């Protein structure tokens, strides 16, 4: 079983590339946001816990998200692996993911990172807001906060996965097809 992580700042193109990656390599794309919504809609114990926390205005703790990821690994069949999007976001989550994979007799295959400069993040998020009508993507203060949060909380994962020899950086500034070709070239090696 392969365990890929799709990584990068907001607006880097993760959503654009994920379906092609999943299709080509027979992976199940797991977005943590989608997973949370599915578990809440199904009324599972984890979903109920997440829903009560979200309704109270609290963040969903790591152990709830990790439980949902592990549940997905246990219940989804007929795939060659998983493509995680939105998890891990912190070093603690990366360490937990390593333990989950090890308990399944595997390990993280690679962290595929789509990188773009901050100014391009800003441009792409604003463009997405105009197309999709997402008010949260149109506010400069919100965008600045998302960029800062990415740099402070998530970027340390680069060093974590480089140290593990599993970090693969892709230049996300190219065209969609050029980025996809780079991704496939990297994934073909694993």
Check if 37 is active-site: no
Check if 89 is active-site: yes
Q: From CA 53, how far away is CA 138, in angstroms rounded?
A: 27
Q: From CA 51, how far away is CA 37, in angstroms rounded?
A: 9
User: Is domain 2-188 given the CATH code 3.40.50.300 in the classification?
Assistant: yes
Cis amide leading into 88 (omega within 30): yes
3-state secondary structure at position 36: helix
Tens digits of pLDDT across the chain (190 residues):
999 999 999 889 998 999 999 999 999 999 887 888 888 899 988 889 888 887 777 777 888 889 989 999 999 999 999 999 989 988 999 999 999 999 999 999 999 999 999 999 999 988 887 887 766 566 788 888 888 888 888 889 999 999 999 999 999 999 999 999 999 999 999 9
**Residue among 2, 14, 124, 166 flagged as catalytic:** 14
Check if 14 is active-site: yes
pLDDT 10s digits, 90-107: 899 999 999 999 999 999
Q: From CA 6, how far away is CA 28, in angstroms rounded?
A: 12
147 Cβ contact partners less than 8 Å away, ≥ 6 residues apart: 9, 10, 118, 121, 122
With contact defined as beta carbons under 8 Å apart, do 155 and 166 qualify? no
**Residue among 37, 38, 51, 128 flagged as catalytic:** 128
| pLDDT value at residue 24 | 97
**Residue among 89, 122, 126, 162 flagged as catalytic:** 89
**Residue among 124, 146, 166, 180 flagged as catalytic:** 146
Q: From CA 69, how far away is CA 3, in angstroms rounded?
A: 11
Q: What are the sequence ranges of the domains in the chain?
A: 2-188
| pLDDT value at residue 53 | 80
């Amino acid at each position: 079983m392969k365990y890929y992580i799709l990584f990068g700042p907001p607006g880097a193109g993760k959503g654009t590339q994920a379906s092609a990656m999943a299709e080509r390599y027979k992976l199940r794309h797991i977005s943590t946001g989608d997973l949370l919504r599915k578990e809440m809609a199904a009324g599972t114990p984890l979903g109920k816990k997440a829903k009560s926390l979200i309704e109270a205005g609290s963040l969903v703790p790591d152990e709830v998200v990790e439980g949902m990821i592990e549940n997905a690994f246990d219940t989804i069949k007929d795939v060659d692996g998983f493509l995680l999007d939105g998890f891990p976001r912190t070093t603690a989550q990366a360490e937990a993911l390593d333990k989950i994979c090890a308990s399944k007799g595997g390990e993280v295959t690679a962290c595929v990172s789509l990188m773009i400069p901050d100014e391009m993040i800003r441009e792409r998020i604003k463009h997405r807001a105009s197309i999709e009508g997402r008010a949260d993507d149109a506010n400069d203060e919100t965008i600045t906060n998302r960029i800062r949060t990415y740099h402070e909380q998530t970027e340390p994962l680069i060093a974590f996965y480089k140290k593990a020899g599993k970090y693969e950086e892709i230049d996300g500034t190219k065209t969609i097809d050029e980025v996809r070709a780079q991704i496939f070239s990297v994934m073909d090696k694993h």
